[in-house]
Structure 1
Amino acid sequence: MTETYTPAARVVVVASLLFAIATMTFVTVSIARAAGALAVGSCGAFGEAYDYASVAAAHESALAKCQGDACRVVTTSKRTCTAFAVDFANPCGAFGWGQGGKLGVTQNAALEACYREGGKECVIRTFFCDARG
């Protein structure tokens, strides 16, 4: 017995297949682009790069975006969150960064590091999370 499908049923089947292919492509691209880096310089300068194909590419981009003196990459990441904090009262003074699996924990780590370095009014300057796959 041969089954025949109505045109509407064919449209539903084709649409379902296209959706499945698009979903798989998005997940694959997200996993492949899951490297990041944070560069910091003097007086609150920073450069960030996330969702890059490689750590080396993220490293290069973060350095290129950092507009201050003495910029250097302080951390790289793969499928994690990163945060950078500076002392609002003295941006040329204390700073800190954090890295971890959850954004809130990462931001707290950056603030704690800033206060440990002598900051009085530490604030988050930037944060990002890579694709987690």
Structure 2
Amino acid sequence: MVSTATAQRRALFILALTVLLGASRFITENVITKSWAAGAFAVGKCGAYGQAYDYPAEAAARAAALKQCRGECTAVTMKRACAAFAVDMANPCGAHGYAVKPKISSSLNAATRKCYEYGGKECVIRAWACDAKG
């Protein structure tokens, strides 16, 4: 038979463990994820691109993406989202499209659709990226 003092110590231990696990989950989900939830996607001519994801700030992500992209590039930011870049394989220096959406599937579809809208004949996804929670 377990004494009352032993039962109280076990209950206190379980309570402390529960509080500790809850606090660590809160910190992981809210502090770490939100602080590293900025990304950017840079696109340029002839299939050039650069990507950066899970940066602490949009400006840092934008700079990193532009640094990877060759030539004149345009950068778009994504915060807790996904970006995709599609090019026309029949003419890689011609039509292209890009999109930023909350989910990867919708960004892939939108980028491909934009490429066709701009005159692409054989549009394919060249690159994609998602940042935290995207």
Task: Point out the structure with the larger helix share.
Answer: 2
Question: How far is the alpha carbon of 1:9 from its aligned partner?
Answer: 8.3
* Worse overlay, 96-105 or 7-16: 7-16
List structure 1 runs of 4+ shifted beyond 3 angstroms: 7-22
Q: Percent identity of the aligned residues? A: 46
The corresponding residue for 2:71 is 69
Question: How far is the alpha carbon of 1:26 from its aligned partner?
Answer: 2.0
Amino acid at match of 1:41: G
Amino acid at match of 1:24: F
The corresponding residue for 1:115 is 116
Question: In the aligned structure 2, how far is the partner of 1:106 from the partner of 1:92?
Answer: 21
Give the total of aligned pairs. 131
Unaligned runs of 5+ in 2: none
The structure that has the greater radius of gyration is 2
Question: In the aligned structure 2, how far is the partner of 1:80 from the partner of 1:106?
Answer: 9
SS across alignment from 1:93:
coil
> How much is the aligned-residue C-alpha RMSD, in angstroms?
2.7
Question: How far is the alpha carbon of 1:11 from its aligned partner?
Answer: 8.0
With normalisation by structure 1, the TM-score equals 0.82
- The C-alpha deviation readout for 1:107-132, integer Å capped at 9, x for no partner, is 11000100111111111111122213
Amino acid at match of 1:25: I
The corresponding residue for 1:84 is 85
With normalisation by structure 2, the TM-score equals 0.81
* Worse overlay, 57-66 or 7-16: 7-16
